[in-house]
Structure 1
Amino acid sequence: MAERADCVYNNVLETSFPHGGSAQIQDYRENRTQAKLERQRKVAAPCKYQMRGEASQVVSPPPVPRRPDPPPRQNMMVFEARPPCPRWHRTALGLGGAGNLLLLGTVAVLGVLVYQRPSQINGNPAMCNGSLKSFRSSLTQNLCEVQNSSAGDSGCRLCARHWKPHRDKCYWLSDGSKYWSGSRDDCTQRRSHLLVIQDQEEMVFIQNIIGDQNPVWIGLNITSSRKNWTWVDGSPLNQTLFTVLGPAEENSCAALKKNRIQPEICNTDLKWICQKAAVQL
Protein backbone atom coordinates (compact mmCIF):
# COMPACT_ATOMS: atom_id res chain seq x y z
CA MET A 1 0.00 0.00 0.00
CA ALA A 2 2.86 2.41 0.85
CA GLU A 3 4.63 1.71 -2.49
CA ARG A 4 1.39 2.27 -4.40
CA ALA A 5 0.83 5.52 -2.56
CA ASP A 6 4.34 6.72 -3.42
CA CYS A 7 3.78 5.80 -7.05
CA VAL A 8 0.54 7.78 -7.16
CA TYR A 9 2.25 10.70 -5.43
CA ASN A 10 5.11 10.69 -8.05
CA ASN A 11 2.61 10.66 -10.91
CA VAL A 12 0.81 13.64 -9.34
CA LEU A 13 4.11 15.50 -9.11
CA GLU A 14 5.01 14.83 -12.74
CA THR A 15 1.55 15.90 -13.82
CA SER A 16 1.71 19.08 -11.66
CA PHE A 17 5.17 20.05 -12.90
CA PRO A 18 5.29 18.80 -16.54
CA HIS A 19 7.99 21.29 -17.56
CA GLY A 20 9.65 21.70 -14.20
CA GLY A 21 12.94 20.46 -13.08
CA SER A 22 13.83 18.13 -10.28
CA ALA A 23 14.68 21.13 -8.04
CA GLN A 24 11.07 22.31 -7.87
CA ILE A 25 9.86 18.80 -7.13
CA GLN A 26 12.49 18.47 -4.40
CA ASP A 27 11.39 21.81 -2.81
CA TYR A 28 7.75 20.80 -2.89
CA ARG A 29 8.56 17.49 -1.19
CA GLU A 30 10.56 19.21 1.57
CA ASN A 31 7.75 21.69 2.24
CA ARG A 32 5.25 18.86 2.36
CA THR A 33 7.47 16.89 4.78
CA GLN A 34 7.87 19.87 7.07
CA ALA A 35 4.11 20.47 7.06
CA LYS A 36 3.55 16.83 7.95
CA LEU A 37 6.04 17.03 10.81
CA GLU A 38 4.40 20.22 12.04
CA ARG A 39 1.00 18.53 12.08
CA GLN A 40 2.43 15.56 14.01
CA ARG A 41 4.05 17.92 16.53
CA LYS A 42 0.78 19.76 17.15
CA VAL A 43 -1.08 16.51 17.60
CA ALA A 44 1.50 15.18 20.07
CA ALA A 45 1.82 18.55 22.00
CA PRO A 46 -0.94 17.90 24.65
CA CYS A 47 0.71 14.69 25.72
CA LYS A 48 4.21 14.57 27.19
CA TYR A 49 6.12 11.42 27.07
CA GLN A 50 9.06 10.23 29.09
CA MET A 51 11.09 7.56 27.42
CA ARG A 52 12.25 4.74 29.62
CA GLY A 53 13.88 2.04 27.53
CA GLU A 54 11.36 0.89 24.94
CA ALA A 55 8.27 1.79 26.94
CA SER A 56 6.85 5.27 27.43
CA GLN A 57 4.77 6.58 30.29
CA VAL A 58 2.42 9.52 30.37
CA VAL A 59 3.57 12.09 32.91
CA SER A 60 0.53 13.32 34.78
CA PRO A 61 0.36 17.03 35.67
CA PRO A 62 1.32 17.96 39.25
CA PRO A 63 -1.58 17.85 41.70
CA VAL A 64 -3.28 21.14 42.44
CA PRO A 65 -2.92 21.95 46.15
CA ARG A 66 -6.25 21.84 47.94
CA ARG A 67 -7.32 25.02 49.60
CA PRO A 68 -7.89 24.56 53.34
CA ASP A 69 -11.44 24.69 54.54
CA PRO A 70 -12.35 28.07 56.09
CA PRO A 71 -12.61 28.05 59.89
CA PRO A 72 -16.12 27.88 61.30
CA ARG A 73 -17.68 31.30 61.76
CA GLN A 74 -18.21 32.42 65.33
CA ASN A 75 -21.36 33.96 66.72
CA MET A 76 -23.48 32.65 63.91
CA MET A 77 -27.16 33.09 64.48
CA VAL A 78 -28.95 29.80 64.60
CA PHE A 79 -32.60 29.91 63.86
CA GLU A 80 -34.54 27.14 65.42
CA ALA A 81 -37.97 26.17 64.46
CA ARG A 82 -40.43 27.20 67.14
CA PRO A 83 -43.89 25.93 67.70
CA PRO A 84 -46.73 28.22 66.65
CA CYS A 85 -47.98 30.77 69.18
CA PRO A 86 -50.68 29.30 71.45
CA ARG A 87 -54.22 30.48 70.94
CA TRP A 88 -54.51 32.00 74.38
CA HIS A 89 -51.55 34.25 73.59
CA ARG A 90 -53.39 35.73 70.66
CA THR A 91 -56.49 36.13 72.80
CA ALA A 92 -54.50 37.94 75.52
CA LEU A 93 -52.93 40.27 72.94
CA GLY A 94 -56.34 41.09 71.57
CA LEU A 95 -57.77 41.85 75.00
CA GLY A 96 -54.74 43.98 75.85
CA GLY A 97 -55.17 46.01 72.67
CA ALA A 98 -58.87 46.52 73.38
CA GLY A 99 -58.05 47.63 76.95
CA ASN A 100 -55.50 50.15 75.67
CA LEU A 101 -58.04 51.60 73.25
CA LEU A 102 -60.61 51.87 76.04
CA LEU A 103 -58.10 53.59 78.33
CA LEU A 104 -57.15 56.02 75.58
CA GLY A 105 -60.81 56.90 75.03
CA THR A 106 -61.35 57.46 78.76
CA VAL A 107 -58.35 59.79 78.98
CA ALA A 108 -59.61 61.75 75.98
CA VAL A 109 -63.07 62.18 77.56
CA LEU A 110 -61.56 63.31 80.87
CA GLY A 111 -59.35 65.78 79.03
CA VAL A 112 -62.39 67.32 77.34
CA LEU A 113 -64.24 67.57 80.66
CA VAL A 114 -61.29 69.18 82.42
CA TYR A 115 -60.90 71.63 79.56
CA GLN A 116 -64.57 72.62 79.70
CA ARG A 117 -64.83 72.75 83.52
CA PRO A 118 -62.85 76.00 84.13
CA SER A 119 -64.99 77.90 81.63
CA GLN A 120 -68.15 76.75 83.39
CA ILE A 121 -66.80 77.78 86.80
CA ASN A 122 -65.63 81.17 85.55
CA GLY A 123 -69.01 81.75 84.02
CA ASN A 124 -70.85 80.86 87.25
CA PRO A 125 -68.90 81.78 90.44
CA ALA A 126 -71.88 80.95 92.60
CA MET A 127 -71.66 77.33 91.56
CA CYS A 128 -67.97 77.24 92.57
CA ASN A 129 -68.70 78.74 95.99
CA GLY A 130 -71.57 76.36 96.50
CA SER A 131 -69.35 73.38 95.69
CA LEU A 132 -66.69 74.53 98.15
CA LYS A 133 -69.27 75.05 100.88
CA SER A 134 -70.76 71.65 100.25
CA PHE A 135 -67.32 70.03 100.35
CA ARG A 136 -66.44 71.86 103.56
CA SER A 137 -69.72 70.86 105.16
CA SER A 138 -69.11 67.22 104.25
CA LEU A 139 -65.66 67.32 105.81
CA THR A 140 -67.05 68.92 108.97
CA GLN A 141 -69.74 66.26 109.37
CA ASN A 142 -67.35 63.35 108.83
CA LEU A 143 -64.13 64.58 110.43
CA CYS A 144 -65.00 67.16 113.08
CA GLU A 145 -65.79 65.07 116.12
CA VAL A 146 -65.89 66.26 119.71
CA GLN A 147 -62.56 64.68 120.58
CA ASN A 148 -60.87 66.12 117.48
CA SER A 149 -62.07 69.72 117.88
CA SER A 150 -61.59 72.27 120.63
CA ALA A 151 -64.68 72.67 122.74
CA GLY A 152 -66.11 76.14 123.06
CA ASP A 153 -64.32 77.45 119.95
CA SER A 154 -66.07 78.43 116.76
CA GLY A 155 -65.35 76.32 113.72
CA CYS A 156 -63.56 73.01 113.53
CA ARG A 157 -59.83 72.44 113.94
CA LEU A 158 -58.35 69.15 112.85
CA CYS A 159 -55.15 67.39 113.88
CA ALA A 160 -53.30 64.50 112.30
CA ARG A 161 -53.59 60.98 113.64
CA HIS A 162 -51.99 60.45 117.09
CA TRP A 163 -51.89 64.22 117.66
CA LYS A 164 -53.99 65.74 120.44
CA PRO A 165 -55.88 68.98 119.67
CA HIS A 166 -56.24 71.93 122.05
CA ARG A 167 -57.55 75.30 120.95
CA ASP A 168 -55.61 76.09 117.74
CA LYS A 169 -52.68 73.67 118.32
CA CYS A 170 -51.92 69.98 118.02
CA TYR A 171 -49.59 68.10 120.40
CA TRP A 172 -47.66 64.84 120.02
CA LEU A 173 -45.81 62.96 122.79
CA SER A 174 -42.94 60.68 121.73
CA ASP A 175 -42.58 57.03 122.65
CA GLY A 176 -38.77 56.89 122.65
CA SER A 177 -36.04 59.02 124.21
CA LYS A 178 -33.37 61.25 122.67
CA TYR A 179 -31.02 64.13 123.43
CA TRP A 180 -32.53 67.60 123.33
CA SER A 181 -30.99 68.30 119.89
CA GLY A 182 -32.30 64.98 118.52
CA SER A 183 -35.76 65.77 119.86
CA ARG A 184 -35.69 69.18 118.18
CA ASP A 185 -34.67 67.62 114.85
CA ASP A 186 -37.42 65.01 115.10
CA CYS A 187 -40.06 67.69 115.56
CA THR A 188 -38.67 69.55 112.55
CA GLN A 189 -39.04 66.41 110.42
CA ARG A 190 -42.69 66.24 111.50
CA ARG A 191 -43.18 69.85 110.34
CA SER A 192 -43.52 71.07 113.90
CA HIS A 193 -41.29 72.23 116.77
CA LEU A 194 -40.70 71.47 120.43
CA LEU A 195 -43.38 72.63 122.85
CA VAL A 196 -43.64 76.39 123.51
CA ILE A 197 -45.97 77.05 126.47
CA GLN A 198 -47.96 80.30 126.25
CA ASP A 199 -49.98 80.39 129.51
CA GLN A 200 -51.05 78.40 132.58
CA GLU A 201 -54.07 76.92 130.83
CA GLU A 202 -51.84 75.33 128.24
CA MET A 203 -49.54 74.13 131.06
CA VAL A 204 -52.48 72.33 132.69
CA PHE A 205 -53.44 70.66 129.40
CA ILE A 206 -49.85 69.46 128.85
CA GLN A 207 -49.73 68.03 132.38
CA ASN A 208 -52.75 65.89 131.51
CA ILE A 209 -50.88 64.55 128.47
CA ILE A 210 -47.57 63.68 130.13
CA GLY A 211 -49.03 62.57 133.49
CA ASP A 212 -46.64 61.68 136.32
CA GLN A 213 -43.89 60.21 134.16
CA ASN A 214 -40.29 61.32 133.87
CA PRO A 215 -39.43 64.80 132.58
CA VAL A 216 -39.96 65.52 128.87
CA TRP A 217 -38.03 67.93 126.70
CA ILE A 218 -39.68 71.23 125.77
CA GLY A 219 -38.52 73.96 123.40
CA LEU A 220 -36.59 75.99 125.98
CA ASN A 221 -32.80 76.24 126.34
CA ILE A 222 -29.86 78.56 127.01
CA THR A 223 -27.54 79.24 124.08
CA SER A 224 -25.89 82.58 124.94
CA SER A 225 -23.33 83.63 127.49
CA ARG A 226 -25.96 85.88 129.12
CA LYS A 227 -27.65 82.73 130.45
CA ASN A 228 -31.10 83.75 129.34
CA TRP A 229 -33.76 81.10 128.75
CA THR A 230 -35.11 81.31 125.20
CA TRP A 231 -37.89 79.41 123.43
CA VAL A 232 -37.19 77.74 120.08
CA ASP A 233 -39.39 80.31 118.31
CA GLY A 234 -36.96 83.05 119.47
CA SER A 235 -39.12 84.56 122.23
CA PRO A 236 -37.67 84.95 125.78
CA LEU A 237 -39.11 83.13 128.79
CA ASN A 238 -41.66 85.16 130.77
CA GLN A 239 -40.36 84.76 134.31
CA THR A 240 -43.65 86.05 135.76
CA LEU A 241 -45.57 83.11 134.25
CA PHE A 242 -43.02 80.31 134.57
CA THR A 243 -39.99 79.86 136.77
CA VAL A 244 -37.16 77.46 136.00
CA LEU A 245 -36.12 75.67 139.17
CA GLY A 246 -32.34 75.31 139.36
CA PRO A 247 -29.24 77.16 138.21
CA ALA A 248 -29.16 78.57 134.70
CA GLU A 249 -25.92 77.38 133.11
CA GLU A 250 -24.70 77.83 129.57
CA ASN A 251 -25.83 75.13 127.09
CA SER A 252 -28.56 73.95 129.45
CA CYS A 253 -31.92 72.64 128.24
CA ALA A 254 -35.31 72.70 129.95
CA ALA A 255 -37.60 69.76 130.73
CA LEU A 256 -41.15 69.69 132.05
CA LYS A 257 -42.14 67.44 134.96
CA LYS A 258 -45.67 67.76 136.30
CA ASN A 259 -46.11 71.53 136.74
CA ARG A 260 -42.42 72.44 137.03
CA ILE A 261 -39.82 73.47 134.49
CA GLN A 262 -36.34 72.32 135.46
CA PRO A 263 -32.91 72.49 133.80
CA GLU A 264 -31.32 69.29 132.48
CA ILE A 265 -28.07 68.37 130.75
CA CYS A 266 -28.81 68.56 127.02
CA ASN A 267 -27.20 65.16 126.39
CA THR A 268 -29.70 63.38 128.62
CA ASP A 269 -32.06 60.88 126.97
CA LEU A 270 -35.66 62.00 127.60
CA LYS A 271 -38.98 61.87 125.83
CA TRP A 272 -40.17 65.02 124.09
CA ILE A 273 -43.36 66.75 123.00
CA CYS A 274 -43.94 68.49 119.66
CA GLN A 275 -46.57 71.04 118.69
CA LYS A 276 -47.91 72.57 115.48
CA ALA A 277 -50.89 74.60 114.32
CA ALA A 278 -54.22 72.81 113.76
CA VAL A 279 -56.02 72.82 110.43
CA GLN A 280 -59.20 74.89 110.63
CA LEU A 281 -62.33 74.14 108.60
Structure 2
Amino acid sequence: MVQERQRRGKGVCWMLRLWSVAVISILLLSACFVASCVLTYQFTTDNPNRRLFELHTYHSSISCFSEGTMVSEKMWGCCPNHWKPFGSSCYLISTKENFWSISEQNCVEMGAHLVVINTEAEQTFITQQLNESLSYFLGLSDPQGNGKWQWTDNTPLSQTVRFWHPNEPNSPAERCASIVFWNPAKWAWNDVLCDTKRRSICEMKKIYL
Protein backbone atom coordinates (compact mmCIF):
# COMPACT_ATOMS: atom_id res chain seq x y z
CA MET A 1 0.00 0.00 0.00
CA VAL A 2 2.79 2.40 0.94
CA GLN A 3 4.70 1.61 -2.23
CA GLU A 4 1.57 2.18 -4.32
CA ARG A 5 1.03 5.59 -2.72
CA GLN A 6 4.65 6.49 -3.38
CA ARG A 7 4.28 5.50 -7.02
CA ARG A 8 1.12 7.60 -7.33
CA GLY A 9 2.86 10.53 -5.67
CA LYS A 10 5.80 10.27 -8.07
CA GLY A 11 3.37 10.10 -11.00
CA VAL A 12 1.57 13.22 -9.85
CA CYS A 13 4.89 15.08 -9.40
CA TRP A 14 6.00 14.02 -12.86
CA MET A 15 2.73 15.25 -14.40
CA LEU A 16 3.01 18.56 -12.55
CA ARG A 17 6.54 19.05 -13.83
CA LEU A 18 5.45 18.23 -17.37
CA TRP A 19 2.58 20.72 -17.20
CA SER A 20 4.89 23.33 -15.69
CA VAL A 21 7.37 22.92 -18.56
CA ALA A 22 4.54 23.14 -21.10
CA VAL A 23 3.08 26.29 -19.51
CA ILE A 24 6.50 27.95 -19.28
CA SER A 25 7.23 27.09 -22.93
CA ILE A 26 3.92 28.58 -24.05
CA LEU A 27 4.56 31.74 -22.02
CA LEU A 28 8.06 32.10 -23.50
CA LEU A 29 6.76 31.63 -27.06
CA SER A 30 4.01 34.18 -26.43
CA ALA A 31 6.54 36.66 -25.04
CA CYS A 32 8.79 36.19 -28.07
CA PHE A 33 5.84 36.70 -30.43
CA VAL A 34 4.78 39.90 -28.66
CA ALA A 35 8.36 41.19 -28.62
CA SER A 36 8.71 40.43 -32.34
CA CYS A 37 5.50 42.33 -33.11
CA VAL A 38 6.64 45.30 -31.02
CA LEU A 39 10.05 45.42 -32.70
CA THR A 40 8.49 45.16 -36.16
CA TYR A 41 6.06 47.96 -35.33
CA GLN A 42 8.83 50.16 -33.94
CA PHE A 43 11.01 49.53 -37.00
CA THR A 44 8.13 50.45 -39.29
CA THR A 45 7.11 53.56 -37.38
CA ASP A 46 10.64 54.68 -36.59
CA ASN A 47 11.97 54.25 -40.13
CA PRO A 48 11.06 57.84 -41.22
CA ASN A 49 12.60 59.16 -38.00
CA ARG A 50 15.73 57.11 -38.66
CA ARG A 51 15.96 58.49 -42.20
CA LEU A 52 15.41 62.01 -40.90
CA PHE A 53 18.25 61.48 -38.44
CA GLU A 54 20.48 60.21 -41.24
CA LEU A 55 19.49 63.17 -43.41
CA HIS A 56 20.44 65.58 -40.62
CA THR A 57 23.93 64.06 -40.59
CA TYR A 58 24.38 65.49 -44.11
CA HIS A 59 22.17 68.60 -44.02
CA SER A 60 21.56 71.20 -41.32
CA SER A 61 17.94 71.87 -42.30
CA ILE A 62 15.14 70.30 -44.33
CA SER A 63 11.79 71.39 -45.72
CA CYS A 64 8.60 69.30 -45.64
CA PHE A 65 5.45 69.88 -47.67
CA SER A 66 2.03 68.25 -47.83
CA GLU A 67 1.54 65.66 -50.56
CA GLY A 68 -2.12 64.81 -50.05
CA THR A 69 -3.55 62.18 -47.74
CA MET A 70 -3.16 58.49 -47.11
CA VAL A 71 -5.53 56.52 -44.83
CA SER A 72 -7.02 59.85 -43.70
CA GLU A 73 -3.61 61.07 -42.48
CA LYS A 74 -1.51 63.78 -44.10
CA MET A 75 1.57 62.68 -46.01
CA TRP A 76 4.55 65.00 -45.91
CA GLY A 77 7.48 64.81 -48.30
CA CYS A 78 10.79 66.17 -47.02
CA CYS A 79 13.89 67.40 -48.89
CA PRO A 80 17.00 69.25 -47.71
CA ASN A 81 16.76 73.02 -48.02
CA HIS A 82 17.74 74.31 -51.49
CA TRP A 83 16.95 70.93 -53.10
CA LYS A 84 14.16 70.79 -55.71
CA PRO A 85 11.33 68.28 -55.12
CA PHE A 86 9.79 66.30 -57.97
CA GLY A 87 7.94 62.99 -57.83
CA SER A 88 9.50 60.85 -55.11
CA SER A 89 12.94 62.50 -55.33
CA CYS A 90 14.87 65.64 -54.39
CA TYR A 91 17.39 67.26 -56.76
CA LEU A 92 20.36 69.57 -56.31
CA ILE A 93 22.00 71.40 -59.22
CA SER A 94 25.68 71.95 -58.49
CA THR A 95 27.22 75.41 -58.75
CA LYS A 96 30.78 74.07 -59.12
CA GLU A 97 32.43 72.08 -61.90
CA ASN A 98 34.27 68.83 -61.28
CA PHE A 99 35.24 65.48 -62.79
CA TRP A 100 32.53 62.80 -63.02
CA SER A 101 33.95 60.61 -60.24
CA ILE A 102 34.38 63.55 -57.87
CA SER A 103 30.88 64.79 -58.70
CA GLU A 104 29.46 61.37 -57.81
CA GLN A 105 31.46 61.31 -54.57
CA ASN A 106 30.18 64.78 -53.66
CA CYS A 107 26.61 63.53 -54.12
CA VAL A 108 27.30 60.41 -52.03
CA GLU A 109 28.68 62.56 -49.21
CA MET A 110 25.29 64.28 -49.09
CA GLY A 111 23.36 61.00 -48.98
CA ALA A 112 22.55 61.13 -52.70
CA HIS A 113 23.93 60.05 -56.10
CA LEU A 114 24.29 61.53 -59.56
CA VAL A 115 20.84 61.77 -61.13
CA VAL A 116 19.16 58.72 -62.67
CA ILE A 117 16.55 59.76 -65.24
CA ASN A 118 13.66 57.31 -65.51
CA THR A 119 10.97 59.25 -67.41
CA GLU A 120 10.56 62.05 -69.93
CA ALA A 121 8.64 64.03 -67.29
CA GLU A 122 11.64 63.82 -64.97
CA GLN A 123 13.98 64.96 -67.75
CA THR A 124 11.68 67.90 -68.53
CA PHE A 125 11.54 68.95 -64.87
CA ILE A 126 15.33 68.78 -64.54
CA THR A 127 16.05 70.77 -67.70
CA GLN A 128 13.79 73.55 -66.45
CA GLN A 129 16.29 74.10 -63.63
CA LEU A 130 19.40 74.22 -65.85
CA ASN A 131 21.44 76.94 -67.53
CA GLU A 132 21.44 76.50 -71.32
CA SER A 133 25.06 77.66 -71.55
CA LEU A 134 26.34 74.87 -69.27
CA SER A 135 26.73 71.09 -69.35
CA TYR A 136 25.84 68.79 -66.43
CA PHE A 137 27.01 65.29 -65.55
CA LEU A 138 24.36 62.56 -65.22
CA GLY A 139 24.70 59.35 -63.19
CA LEU A 140 25.21 57.47 -66.45
CA SER A 141 28.48 55.94 -67.63
CA ASP A 142 30.02 53.30 -69.90
CA PRO A 143 32.86 52.02 -67.67
CA GLN A 144 34.39 49.65 -70.24
CA GLY A 145 33.81 51.81 -73.30
CA ASN A 146 31.90 48.96 -74.97
CA GLY A 147 28.53 50.68 -75.34
CA LYS A 148 27.02 49.09 -72.20
CA TRP A 149 25.79 52.24 -70.52
CA GLN A 150 24.61 51.92 -66.94
CA TRP A 151 23.36 54.14 -64.14
CA THR A 152 25.13 54.73 -60.82
CA ASP A 153 22.98 52.00 -59.21
CA ASN A 154 24.40 49.56 -61.84
CA THR A 155 21.06 49.21 -63.66
CA PRO A 156 21.50 49.09 -67.46
CA LEU A 157 20.22 51.93 -69.59
CA SER A 158 16.64 51.26 -70.67
CA GLN A 159 15.97 50.80 -74.37
CA THR A 160 12.89 53.01 -74.13
CA VAL A 161 14.01 55.75 -71.73
CA ARG A 162 17.03 57.35 -73.38
CA PHE A 163 17.37 60.93 -74.59
CA TRP A 164 20.60 61.16 -76.59
CA HIS A 165 21.30 63.95 -79.04
CA PRO A 166 21.27 62.73 -82.66
CA ASN A 167 24.32 60.57 -83.47
CA GLU A 168 25.30 60.30 -79.80
CA PRO A 169 27.01 58.52 -78.14
CA ASN A 170 29.75 58.46 -80.74
CA SER A 171 33.10 57.70 -79.06
CA PRO A 172 34.29 54.74 -76.93
CA ALA A 173 36.73 57.11 -75.21
CA GLU A 174 33.86 59.26 -73.93
CA ARG A 175 32.53 57.08 -71.13
CA CYS A 176 30.42 59.49 -69.10
CA ALA A 177 27.12 61.15 -69.98
CA SER A 178 26.13 64.77 -69.65
CA ILE A 179 22.99 66.70 -70.43
CA VAL A 180 23.48 69.76 -72.63
CA PHE A 181 21.39 72.18 -74.72
CA TRP A 182 22.29 72.36 -78.40
CA ASN A 183 20.64 74.71 -80.89
CA PRO A 184 18.50 74.23 -82.84
CA ALA A 185 17.75 71.00 -81.07
CA LYS A 186 16.99 70.82 -77.34
CA TRP A 187 18.21 69.47 -74.04
CA ALA A 188 19.53 65.94 -74.54
CA TRP A 189 22.39 63.63 -73.57
CA ASN A 190 25.92 63.61 -74.89
CA ASP A 191 28.84 61.28 -74.20
CA VAL A 192 31.86 63.16 -72.84
CA LEU A 193 35.27 62.48 -71.31
CA CYS A 194 34.92 61.62 -67.62
CA ASP A 195 37.95 63.70 -66.65
CA THR A 196 36.54 66.95 -68.02
CA LYS A 197 35.09 69.36 -65.49
CA ARG A 198 31.36 70.03 -65.61
CA ARG A 199 28.52 70.84 -63.29
CA SER A 200 26.32 68.00 -62.09
CA ILE A 201 22.91 67.02 -60.72
CA CYS A 202 22.46 65.07 -57.47
CA GLU A 203 19.34 63.05 -56.64
CA MET A 204 18.04 61.48 -53.43
CA LYS A 205 14.76 59.87 -52.39
CA LYS A 206 12.31 62.00 -50.45
CA ILE A 207 11.54 61.16 -46.85
CA TYR A 208 7.82 60.70 -46.17
CA LEU A 209 6.24 61.43 -42.79
TM-score (norm 1): 0.45
Deviation for aligned residue 1:224: 2.2
Distance 1:151 1:171, change over 3 A: farther
How many corresponding residue pairs? 140
Determine which of 189, 192, 198 is the counterpart of 1:264. 192
Matches within 5 A, 1:53-64: none
Instruction: Please name the residue that 1:228 is paired with.
Output: 148
In structure 2, list runs of 5 or more residues that go unmatched: 1-37, 39-44, 50-62, 182-186
SS in 2 for 1:201: helix
Matched-pair identity in %: 27
Deviation for aligned residue 1:198: 0.6
Determine which of 162, 176, 186 is the counterpart of 1:253. 176
Superimposed CA distance per residue, residues 108-135 of structure 1 (whole angstroms, 9 cap, x where no aligned partner) = xxxxxxxxxxxxxxxxx9xxxxxx9xxx
The whole-number CA distance in structure 1 between the counterparts of 2:79 and 2:151 is 23
Deviation for aligned residue 1:248: 4.3
Deviation for aligned residue 1:151: 7.7
The whole-number CA distance in structure 2 between the counterparts of 1:188 and 1:155 is 27
Root-mean-square deviation (CA, aligned residues, Å) is 2.7
SS in 2 for 1:184: helix
Instruction: Please name the residue that 1:273 is paired with.
Output: 201
Deviation for aligned residue 1:243: 4.0
Deviation for aligned residue 1:191: 1.0
Distance 1:152 1:169, change over 3 A: farther
SS in 2 for 1:239: coil
Deviation for aligned residue 1:213: 3.2
Distance 1:144 1:193, change over 3 A: closer
The whole-number CA distance in structure 1 between the counterparts of 2:169 and 2:201 is 22
Instruction: Please name the residue that 1:89 is paired with.
Output: none
SS in 2 for 1:209: coil
Q: Is the 2:114–2:138 Cα contact (8 Å) retained in structure 1?
A: yes
Instruction: Please name the residue that 1:10 is paired with.
Output: none
Higher relative CO (Cα under 8 Å, sequence separation at least 6) belongs to 2
Of 239-248 and 249-258, the range deviating more from structure 2: 239-248
Determine which of 192, 195, 202 is the counterpart of 2:122. 202
Matches within 5 A, 1:124-273: 144-145=64-65, 155-244=75-164, 245-250=168-173, 252-258=175-181, 259-273=187-201
SS in 2 for 1:247: coil
Instruction: Please name the residue that 2:60 is paired with.
Output: none
Q: Is the 2:174–2:191 Cα contact (8 Å) retained in structure 1?
A: no
Distance 1:167 1:243, change over 3 A: closer
Distance 1:151 1:218, change over 3 A: farther
In structure 1, list runs of 5 or more residues that go unmatched: 1-124, 126-131, 137-142
Superimposed CA distance per residue, residues 169-193 of structure 1 (whole angstroms, 9 cap, x where no aligned partner) = 0000111100111101101111110
Instruction: Please name the residue that 2:15 is paired with.
Output: none
Letter in 2 for 1:215: S
Distance 1:161 1:229, change over 3 A: same
TM-score (norm 2): 0.60
Q: Which has the higher helix share?
A: 1
